[in-house]
Amino acid sequence: MASTNDLKNGMVLDLDGQLWSVIWFQHHKPGKGNTVVRTKLKHVLSGKVVDRTFNSDTKVDTASVDRREMQYLYHDGAGYVFMDTSSYEQLVIPDDTVGDAKNYLLPEHMATVAIHEETPLYLDLPASVELEVTYTEPGLQGDRSTGGTKPATVETGLQIQVPLFLTTGERVKVDTRDGSYLGRVG
């Protein structure tokens, strides 16, 4: 049990048997009346985001979530196989739990896996990853770095927009939050 005054971003709450992660909170004192805590909560399994307001000092149940740094090994029919780098224990994470993170995973990449009661909940990836461009149309004579963009496919199969001067085989940095091109590597 914790008070709503003790909420922090990333904290996982157990509300009515459902797990919700706090993604934003604000203490609000109206002109008259009691202080309230406004929150944005993200459902851990479905990703649904809701606004919820609590009276200050309301008691809420917190869930024990273990965050482990794990290394991605490979994908098989059962899901994505990760290895805990400290214990060498392997964990299979279902495809639906990995979700869009699959677009940024390569063997040996690291990710933080959130686990509640031996069930993997979600992955936290680094803010950006380096991937190789496997296909893009060739640039034309006179393409400039300040020009437009063109589609490119990276080694995970993700399609992103890149500047016209990039060619197949180059390595790029990609933002894992929105899939945008951040820059050329090397």
> pLDDT for 144-186, tens place per residue?
655 788 999 999 999 999 998 899 999 999 999 999 999 999 7
pLDDT at position 186 is 79
pLDDT band, very low/low/confident/very high, at 56 (cuts 50, 70, 90): confident
Q: Give the pLDDT confidence score for residue 144 in this predicted structure.
A: 60
If pLDDT is split at 50, 70 and 90, which confidence band does 142 have? low
Q: Which residue, among 145, 126, 136, 125, has the nearest Cα to 168 in the 3D structure?
A: 136
Q: Which two tokens stand for residue 111?
A: 């990710």
Identity at 45, one-letter amino acid code: L
pLDDT value at 136 more than 90: yes
Q: Which fold has domain 128-185?
A: OB fold (Dihydrolipoamide Acetyltransferase, E2P) (2.40.50)
Statement: residue 98 has pLDDT above 80: yes
Whether pLDDT at 143 is above 60: no
Domain ranges of the chain: 2-62, 66-124, 128-185
State what percent of residues in the chain have pLDDT above 70.
96
Cα–Cα distance list, 186 to 28, 51, 116 (Å):
48, 43, 39
The pLDDT assigned to 145 comes to 55
Mean pLDDT of 92-96: 92
Q: Rounded mean pLDDT of 44-50?
A: 87
- What's the confidence (pLDDT) of residue 44? 87
Q: Tell me, which fold does domain 66-124 have in CATH?
A: OB fold (Dihydrolipoamide Acetyltransferase, E2P) (2.40.50)
User: What is the structure's pLDDT at 33?
Assistant: 84
Fold of 2-62: SH3 type barrels. (2.30.30)
The two structure tokens encoding residue 167: 């060619």
Mean pLDDT of the chain: 91
**Torsion angle of alpha carbons 125, 128, 130, 134, nearest 10°?**
90
pLDDT confidence band for 1 (50 / 70 / 90): confident
Domains 2-62 and 128-185 share a fold: no
pTM: 0.77
Percent of the chain's residues with pLDDT above 90: 66
Q: Which long-range contacts link 132-138 to residues 24+ away (Cβ below 8 Å)? A: 132/169, 132/170, 132/171, 132/172, 133/162, 133/166, 133/167, 133/168, 133/169, 133/170, 133/171, 133/172, 134/168, 135/168, 136/162, 136/166, 136/167, 136/168, 138/167, 138/168
Alpha helices in 21-177 (DSSP H): 95-98
Distance CA 109, CA 71 (A): 6
